[in-house]
Chain A
Amino acid sequence: MYKKLNHDENKKKTRKRIGYVPLKEGTPKLYKGLGFKCGLEVHQQLKTEKKLFCRCPAGKYQEGEDYDAEIVRHMRPTLSELGEYDGTALMEFKTKKNITYRIKNETACTYEVDDTPPFPLNEEALDISIKIAQLLKTSIVGELHITRKQYLDGSIPTGFQRTAIVGIEGKIPLKGKDIGIIQLSIEEDSCREVSDIKHNRIYTTDRLGMPLIEAVTYPHMITPSEAEEAAHYIRFLTRSTGNVRTGIGAAREDVNVSITGGTRVEIKGVSHIKWIPALTHNEAFRQKALLEIKNILKERIKNIEEWDIANIVLNSKELKNVKNSLQDKIESGYRFMGVKLPGFREILSFFTQPGKVFASELSERLKVIACLESPNIAHSEEDSPLIDKEYFDILGEKLDCGDNDALAIIWGPQEDIETALETIRERCLLAFRGVPNETRKSVNKDGITIFERVLPGPDRMYPDTDSAPIAIKDEKINRIGKNLPSEISFREKKMRSWNIPEDTFTYIHIRNLFPLLERSIKDLNYPPTFIGTLLGHQLKNLEGKITPSSEFDFNKIYGLLEFCEKEGYEKLLVKQMLPVLYQYPNMDPESILTTIDFKKKEKEEIISLFPLLNKKFAEISQRQNKNGKKLWIMGRLQPIATGNISLKDLSEIVEGGLK
């Protein structure tokens, strides 16, 4: 007999059961208790003129309807090591995704559309990757072997990504410990997805084939904040080469998370490092929830082999229970199926992530595998706006529901229903095993993830028969090694020794301003903290407010500092000049001075103004407050004094004059 359930209550109860707390309440002890482990795969585009395996330009993007031609392909799973197709891969193939590539002649040749074998590897990109391999302290291979890594989602028209290991076994130093690097590879970037609706997925090929490095860490990070720190470190490190691309999508992280008893789940394409803590935190608890669900199911279902879903087609009379918002689906001939999930009572509404329950896992898979657009499911453990709530009682009777069973209704085009049912069945069966092997994607800053696709099997790598191995000689490594940038940890140590505030570090690393900072400090006579904050505070601030009229070369700041020092201007003038320089990078210093209305004055000239001001203050002020007078006079003199004498000197002059 099917019984109603207070699902809101259940959500709260299950959330508590797994011990979920918000990220800000997460402690090292909590993560230790979960057995939290996290590893990163950091992808970073390299700044090269051309793509990795063809001579098309890199870094030119097409937008919207801007394309010259379309090509349609389908990805067919190839046989695995055992000669079997991966179950889900085959299911996905049966539902048949039409993959459309929108190509632009400017950025695509026959290589992009897999109509010609690769051209020789871009040497410029290889050199940069060897530089990064050295910074990561990896052992560099003697010979680069181009390998094919299979992808069936269509993101690469060949169906595989060409990739090669440059170095293995390195490390990066975090504040408290070293994090091991498994490998550094060089690879081609994939297509950009335009849309993925029902059976049609559309990509553009502009980004495809751009050179990329992928740095893979060991799962050595044991708290979300460590994961964030490691991601930052690797980003700073790649930026320190000055040879990587910046901007949206130029650096992307895949974050692998597991907990004790769970599975390595890969969260793909995280484009903001600051999202990592929430994502990893929530994923740890999602795994915890799935492990709890497994325990409950194990308790309830003794013989998993005999477990199966039961289903019926809803007839036209029953379809009256479908609410108006789905009427168009009925009219377009969609089939509605009632599904019994034996033993899944209180599971469908089991908390998995903030705002999500186990039923979300079913819905997300229906979208990806069976191509059913959301909403695609209603179930007995929610207040569905789509199906009359009372109807589940009738359905429960029809499907002979027991006390522990749950019900769902799914709908879709007739040809997709078989896959949809199989998808539900498969995901429920996976629940008996705990955490499925899958890749997920982050949807927002709150750290929520959705199912992306099933993780391909381990046997997805094979040699690229189209390319010969490339020897990496010692001479090459040594040549590149001679010009390595200094290490991030060294840079931070140095900046601390210069008393530069720590809150400037991130910006200085991201824009790779350390070499400029170091050179300025070495060559010129400004206090290090002045230059540090000029860059890490003022420049950062300007960047958020002003758009330069042409590309801003940070080395212009050195020129500015040098000019002011040579001319004997006081350092605060630099701060007045910088905004103008930033906005008009090609303006010469003299013109900047005119723009800000600066006039050169001798110290004596400024002092000579003093009696006049003294008198003026006496006229306008009622009370003779000495400090107030000083401040007033300083205020009048400062605009004239800036650049001519220091604030300290000015203060002394005023002080002296008042005595």
Chain B
Amino acid sequence: MSDLFKGYKGDALNLLKKFNVRVWSDVEIKSSRGDFRGIILPRSENDDDKHLVLKLATGYNVGIETGTINNIEEKGFKEANYKIPEKEFPFSPEKPNIKLFGTGGTIASRLDYRTGAVIPAFSPGELYGAVPELADICNLSTEKLFAVFSENMGPEQYKILARSIGEEIKKGVHGIIVGHGTDTMHHTASALSFMVQNSPVPIVMVGSQRSSDRPSSDAALNLIHSATAASVSDIAEVMVCMFGPTSDEYGLLHRGTRVRKMHSSYRSTFRTIGDIPLAMVTRDKITPLRDDYSKRRSDKNVNILPYFEEKVALLYYYPNMQPDMIDTLIEKGYKGIVIAGTGLGHVNKPLYPALERAKKAGIAIYMTVQTLWGFVHMFVYDTGRDMMKKGVIPTENMLPEVAYIKLGWALGQTDDPEKVRDIMLTPVNGETTEGEPYNGYLVYQGGIPEVEEFIRKFHK
């Protein structure tokens, strides 16, 4: 029954019932503002109950206020059709076989023009329809693992994803693509970096910053870049493949443990922090920027380590943080805390007793820096040394989110603080590095003549 009145409630719903019309009715409305003719569209649940939404013959939508409506007459009924057509994805024996796992983010989609609903395209046939260039690169097969929003990705999903990737590798796939919403892509990228080790093939994570239903979307190009990376690159690591500059020029392959989403809406939001990216990627070429990566192999060996302890917290320190923040975590039975400290890795003195209590409770405490760039240096000031005495362990230049994921992964394997410490401080794949290269920190400031000149010539 509710389906007849999708999204309508209160006054608007009563009105629809009163005049015996429903969603998709083609109606003529007489109102004190004039007459309107169109099809009643579903209404967003979050909008008020004071308006009906009509799609006019011109394609525009308008809202009519319920209080102004004197009469509604149904002239017809036209229900929207949500089907997405498929075209068979062409197979050619000489092209590499690539597996695309879906997690819920839309990398390709079709729009329902009547409702504006975005219908995700996911099956190979659907993707081929949306991005036919894919067939020039690889043979694609797909599997939808879950349909969750990026922010709802968590340990359960990480584990399933890791196992599924392992199975595909054992079957001899040539490369793997993981479609993912962008908000937490870097969390999943680091989880996979730890859970899928020694992969013989590239594992490429990809998403889009601008919805794939728009002509200017980055989705198609990202997908093409990721297919190229999975097919032809010899970088057998977990990577994130997203726009380099905001222009449609090239993508960057970022190491899964050093990448972070750095802008809420820019296309070029993903950046390698404290290091340089692995490679540049275009439609047909990979240009490595470094050579210290794991090379592609022809075997099918891989280590899948799907462990995760959920009772781990990431605490973003701020001046005047109260000790009860930590006490609460102790009380709730947390096993690990990653702190994103100020500067070189600090918190204020009033927290010290709480840190001691945490240590006594057996909680593993690791320090990262909220500056994102740079190392934790706890020997520089006494405060740092004090903290280390209280059991806080510095994590070099591991990014806070990465440290959080790694601690969860480590505690998922063992409770032994020494073993956890070993795991945490032994780099799996670049989450800590021996040093930071001079060009690992490049955040340009606009306005400076040489920067302006650079921006005018090259694309940011």
Minimal beta-carbon separation of A120 from chain B (angstroms): 16
Contact among A140, A145, A459 for B61, CB-based, below 8 A: A145
B85, CB-defined interface residue at 8 Å: yes
Residues of chain A lying within 8 A (CB to CB) of residue B170: none
Indicate if the CB atoms of A465 and B211 lie closer than 8 Å: yes
* A114 close to chain B: CB less than 8 A: yes
B 200-222 contacts with A by CB, 8 A: 209-211, 213-217, 220-221
Closest B residue, CB atoms, query A182: B58
Q: Evaluate contact between A116 and B51: CB separation under 8 angstroms.
A: no
Interface string of A464-503 (1 = CB under 8 A from B): 1100110100000000000000000000000000000000
**For residue B149, which residues in chain A have a CB less than 8 angstroms away from its CB?**
none
B59 touches A147 (CB 8 A): yes
Q: How many Å from the CB of B36 to the closest CB on chain A?
A: 7
Residues in chain A near residue B246, CB distance under 8 A? 71, 113, 115
Whether A79 lies near B47 (C-beta < 8 A) is: no
Task: Using known A-B contacts A72-B249, A113-B246, A145-B53, determine if residue A79 contacts B111 with beta carbons closer than 8 Å.
Answer: yes
Kindly state whether residue A578 has any CB partner on chain B within 8 Å.
no
Q: Smallest Cβ distance from A648 to chain B, in angstroms?
A: 55
Asked if residues B113 and A459 are in contact (CB atoms below 8 Å), the reply is yes
Provided the pairs A72-B248, A141-B64, A469-B63 are in contact, do residues A83 and B85 lie with their beta carbons within 8 angstroms?
yes
The reply to whether B58 and A462 contact each other, CB–CB distance below 8 Å, is: no
Closest to A477 in B: B33
Contact A142 B110 (CB under 8 A): no
Contacts of A469 in B (CB 8 A): 47, 51, 53, 63
| Inter-subunit contact A68/B455 (CB<8 Å) | yes
- A-B residue pairs in contact (CB < 8 Å), sample of 23: A68-B456, A69-B459, A70-B459, A72-B247, A75-B215, A83-B84, A115-B265, A116-B264, A139-B33, A142-B65, A143-B51, A143-B62, A143-B63, A145-B62, A148-B214, A151-B215, A158-B214, A458-B59, A460-B113, A463-B115, A463-B116, A465-B118, A471-B65
A169-B51 Cα distance, complex, nearest whole Å: 20
**Residues in chain B near residue A465, CB distance under 8 A:** 116, 118, 211
Q: Give every chain A residue within 8 A of B56 (Cβ-Cβ).
A: 165, 168, 183
Would B111 and A114 count as touching, CB distance under 8 A?
no
Bound-complex Cα distance A72 to B267 (A): 12
Distance from A278 Cβ to chain B, minimum over Cβ atoms (Å): 29
- Given A81-B113, A83-B110, A140–B215 Cβ distance below 8 Å? no
- Secondary structure type dominating chain B contacts: loop
Complex alpha-carbon distance, A71 and B248, angstroms: 8
Q: How far is the CB of B84 from chain A (nearest CB, A)?
A: 6
CB distance from B51 to the nearest CB of A (A): 5
Whether, in the assembled complex, B75 has its beta carbon less than 8 Å from a beta carbon of chain A, the answer is: no
Among A70, A80, A141, A150, which residue has its beta carbon within 8 angstroms of that of B215?
A150
Is the CB of B34 closer than 8 A to any CB of chain A?
yes
B60 in contact with A165 (CB, 8 Å): yes
Most buried by B among A73, A110, A151: A73
Asked if B421 is at the interface (CB within 8 A of a chain A CB), the reply is no
| Contact status B129-A152, CB under 8 Å | no
B residues less than 8 Å from A165 (CB atoms): 56, 58, 60-62
Chain B residues 57 to 81 lying within 8 A of chain A, measured CB to CB, are 58-65, 68
Q: Which of B63, B113, B248 contacts A145 (CB 8 A)?
A: B63
Complex: how many Å from CA A463 to CA B221?
24
Using a CB-CB cutoff of 8 Å, which residues 140-192 of chain A contact chain B? 140-145, 147-152, 157-160, 163-165, 167-169, 182-183, 185
List which B25-72 residues lie within 8 A (CB) of chain A.
31, 33-36, 46-48, 50-51, 53, 56, 58-65, 68
A469 to B7, CA, bound (A): 14
A436 within 8 A of B: no
- CA A182 – CA B56 in complex, angstroms? 11
Chain A residues near B68 (CB-CB < 8 A): 142
Give min CB distance, A414 to chain B, whole Å: 18
In the bound complex, residues from chain B placing their C-beta under 8 Å from that of A464 are 116
Q: Using a CB-CB cutoff of 8 Å, which residues 63-103 of chain A contact chain B?
A: 67-84
Closest B residue, CB atoms, query A141? B62
**CA gap between A110 and B267 in the complex, in Å:** 10
Asked if A349 is at the interface of the complex by the 8 Å CB criterion, the answer is: no
**Whole-angstrom CA separation of A9 from B212 in the bound complex:** 54
CB-CB under 8 A from A158, the residues of chain B are: 210, 214-216
| Residue pair A142, B216 in contact (C-beta under 8 Å) | no
Residues on the A chain within 8 Å of B381, using CB? none
Question: Across the two chains, which residue of chain B brings its CB closest to A157?
Answer: B216
Which of A72, A77, A159, A183 interacts with B459 by CB under 8 Å?
Answer: A72
When chains A and B are docked, how far (Å) is the Cα of A138 from the Cα of B455?
A: 47
CB of B215 within 8 A of CB of A76, answer yes
Contact A160 B214 (CB under 8 A): yes
The contact of B58 among A70, A143, A183, by CB within 8 Å, is A183
Contacts of A71 in B (CB 8 A): 246-247, 459
**Contact check: which of B48, B111, B216, B220 meets A462 at CB < 8 Å?**
B111
B266: A residues at CB distance < 8 A: 110, 115-116
B460 interfacial by beta-carbon distance below 8 Å: yes
Return the chain A residue nearest B86 by Cβ: A83
B452 at the interface (CB under 8 A from A): yes
Determine the residue in chain B with the shortest Cβ distance to A77.
B215
Question: Does B59 lie within 8 Å of A114, measured CB to CB?
Answer: no
CA distance A117 to B267 in the complex (A): 12
Complexed CA–CA distance, A445 and B265 (Å): 45
**7 tightest A-B contacts by CB?**
A139-B34, A143-B63, A159-B215, A461-B59, A142-B65, A463-B116, A83-B85
Chain A: CB-nearest residue to B64 = A142
| Set of chain A residues within 8 Å of B264, measured between Cβ atoms | 116
Is B130 in contact with chain A by the CB < 8 A criterion?
yes
Contacts A160-B215, A168-B62: A141 and B85 contacting too (C-beta < 8 A)?
A: no
Shortest beta-carbon distance, A265 to chain B, in Å? 18
Q: A83-B110, A143-B63, A460-B113 are in contact. List 6 more A-B contacts (CB 8 A).
A: A73-B216, A74-B216, A115-B246, A147-B60, A148-B214, A462-B213
**In chain B, what residue has the closest Cβ to A145?**
B61
Contacts of B460 on A, CB cut-off 8 Å? 69
A160 to B31, CA, bound (A): 31
Bound complex: CA of A117 vs CA of B47, how far in Å?
19
Question: Smallest CB–CB gap between A14 and chain B, Å?
Answer: 37
Cα of A451 to Cα of B62 in the assembled complex, Å: 33
Q: In the complex, what distance in Å separates the CA atom of A157 from the CA atom of B53?
A: 28
Which residues of chain B come closer than 8 Å to A140, judged between CB atoms? 33-34
Task: Tell whether, in the assembled complex, residue A143 and residue B65 are in contact, meaning their CB atoms are under 8 Å apart.
Answer: yes
Q: How far is the CA of A149 from the CA of B61 in the complex (A)?
A: 11
Contact of A68 among B50, B209, B263, B452 (CB under 8 A): B452
CB pair A116–B60 under 8 Å, yes or no, is no
Q: Known: A68-B452, A183-B60. Contact between A168 and B36, CB under 8 A?
A: yes
Give, as a whole number of angstroms, the nearest-CB distance from A254 to chain B: 14
Residues of the B chain whose Cβ atoms lie less than 8 Å from the Cβ of A116: 264-266
B residues within 8 A CB of A141?
33, 36, 62-64
A277 to B59 CA separation, bound complex (whole angstroms) = 30
Shortest CB-to-CB span from A354 to chain B, Å, is 34
| B145 CB to nearest chain A CB (Å) | 24
**Judging by beta carbons under 8 Å apart, are A462 and B456 in contact?**
no
Of B50, B116, B129, the most chain A CB neighbours within 10 A belong to: B116
- In the assembled complex, how far is the CB of residue A268 from the closest CB belonging to chain B, in whole angstroms? 18
The residues of A that contact B31 with a CB separation of less than 8 Å are 139, 142
CB of A147 within 8 A of CB of B216, answer no
For residue A393, give the distance in angstroms from its CB to the closest CB of chain B.
42
- Chain B residues with CB under 8 Å of A73's CB are 216, 247-248
Q: Is the CB of A76 within 8 A of B220?
A: yes
B113 touches A462 (CB 8 A): yes
Give bound CA distance, A160 to B266, whole Å.
Answer: 18
Chain B residues whose C-beta falls within 8 Å of the C-beta of A150 in the assembled complex: 215
